[in-house]
């Protein structure tokens, strides 16, 4: 379930809503760091998205320590692996409360399945901001204001969060 929690974060909203070309990442990162939209790189427009992301974080005094992934989502994506053998997970990178860092003022950049573009044939992801309890506190897409839940949230848990970027202070 989508729950809004109190936060002093500035809410920046997407300007481009387009399948695979939206700017939700740019808007979410601007919100997370209380920055202006124009000061954050247009990640989706660049082939070196990861490098731009790392440089931006570094300019703010942060690094992305690791990614935390939703184990249930991983099994759902690769069900035949679970059929063949017990899937092993690197536990420090599994999405669970004890693996969450401090985040940026207690908030985290994360991904969910896109409500608008969800399809089993095309797993389009959407960027949002959550708190340490996995409550989605900001969705940069105004169309999703008041959304009840994200695709597959009741199946994968964690309010539908598929992964969290564990961003920490340097």
pLDDT score, position 6: 45
3-state SS class at 108: strand
Measured distance CA(34)–CA(111) in Å, rounded = 19
Average pLDDT over residues 76-82: 78
- What's the whole-model pTM score? 0.89
Length of the chain measured in residues: 170
Q: Distance of CA 73 to CAs 83, 160, 162, Å?
A: 15, 9, 6
Domain boundaries, the chain: 63-169
- Model confidence at 89, pLDDT cuts 50, 70, 90, reads confident
Per-residue pLDDT for 79 more than 60? Answer: yes
CA 151 to chain centroid = 14
Write down the pLDDT at residue 87. 64
Per-residue model confidence as pLDDT tens digits over 29-59: 999 999 999 999 998 887 888 899 999 999 9
Higher pLDDT, 151 or 8: 151
Question: What's the start-to-end Cα distance of the chain, in Å?
Answer: 33
Among the residue ranges 16-25, 36-45, 57-66, 156-165, the one predicted with the least confidence is: 16-25
pLDDT band of 3, cuts 50, 70, 90:
very low
Residue 1 has a pLDDT of: 36
CB 137 within 8 A of CB 147: no
Half-sphere exposure in the Cβ direction for 163 (13 Å, CA): 13
pLDDT digits (tens, 9 = 90+) for 90-134: 787 999 999 998 999 999 999 999 999 898 888 889 999 999 999
């Amino acid at each position: 379930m989508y729950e809004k929690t109190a936060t002093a974060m500035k809410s920046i909203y997407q300007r481009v809503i387009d399948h695979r070309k939206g700017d939700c990442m740019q808007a979410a990162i601007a919100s997370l760091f209380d920055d202006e939209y124009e000061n954050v790189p247009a990640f989706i427009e660049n082939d070196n998205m990861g490098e731009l992301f790392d440089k931006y974080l570094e300019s703010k005094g942060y690094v992305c320590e690791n990614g935390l992934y939703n184990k249930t989502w991983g099994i759902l994506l690769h069900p035949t692996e679970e059929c063949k053998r017990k899937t092993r997970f690197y536990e420090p990178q599994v999405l669970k409360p004890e693996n969450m860092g401090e985040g940026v003022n207690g908030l985290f950049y994360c991904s969910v399945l896109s409500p608008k573009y969800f399809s089993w044939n095309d797993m389009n992801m959407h960027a949002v901001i959550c708190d340490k309890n996995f409550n989605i506190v900001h969705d940069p897409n105004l169309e999703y204001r008041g959304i009840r839940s994200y695709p597959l949230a009741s199946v994968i848990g964690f309010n539908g969060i598929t992964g969290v970027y564990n961003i920490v202070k340097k």
